[in-house]
Amino acid sequence: MRAERHSHADRSRGFTLIEVVVALIVVSLGMLAVIETVGGTARNSSYLRDKTIAHWVAMNKLTEVRLLPNAPAIDKSSDEVEMAGRDWRWTMEVKQTQVDSIRRIDISVRPSEAPEKSSMASVSGFYGTAVAPAATTIVQWKGNGGQGGPGGRNKRGGQNGEEDGGGRPNEPPPPPEPGEVVPPDPEEPEQ
């Protein structure tokens, strides 16, 4: 009787081989899930880093074009640049807009080894030469006669160069809108 109790007690003290194998399988599956999550996070942060650098390349090129003294040619161009230890290929397309003095610039950037049609970052901007004369807010646009240009309407509703229909010559002008530049009054002496 003592021998039976002793063998029964030995079995209840430890794990069986099947229990150990099942525990190892459960732990292995949990570790695989953790490793996959960590790998996905690393891939995602690498992608976001590359996307940010590609965006910087595109913004640098757009700024470079905007700082040129002359409008860019209506054309499609491409070149390579190195940034953050990697080569990038930018492609720029310049298009004419409906306003003669404004051109649209579309720039896409991809790693130099990526396929031709791929794009990691894209930016669009405009290059314009229309500038308002000093001390005014009316811009003379060259083109299809938009607001402020020939045949357009002024802020008060009248045609350029004339009062609106309800204005009277002796009536003071309405107060300026917030942020509007007001030319100095010729009757007031400067101090």
Helix locations, 14-102, DSSP H: 17-66
Query: pLDDT value at position 31?
Result: 93
Q: Residue 130 and residue 34: Cα distance in Å, rounded?
A: 58
pLDDT in tens, 135-187: 777 766 665 444 444 444 444 444 444 444 444 455 566 666 666 666 666 55
Report the C-alpha gap between 183 and 190 in whole angstroms: 12
Exposure on the CB side of residue 170, measured as CA atoms within 13 A: 0
Please list, in sequence order, all residues whose beta carbon lies within 8 angstroms of the beta carbon of residue 15, skipping any fewer than 6 positions away: 23
CATH of range 12-132; options 3.30.1300.30, 2.60.40.2470, 2.60.120.380, 3.30.2130.10: 3.30.1300.30
Instruction: Tell how many helices (H) and how many strands (E) occur in the chain.
Output: 2, 4
Give the predicted TM-score (pTM) of the model: 0.55
Kindly give, in sequence order, each residue whose CB lies less than 8 Å from that of residue 70, ignoring residues fewer than 6 positions away: none
Instruction: Give the pLDDT band (50/70/90) at residue 52.
Output: very high
Residue 79's alpha-carbon distances to 33, 91, 116, 148, 185, in angstroms, are 42, 7, 12, 38, 52
What's the token pair of residue 122? Answer: 């894209």
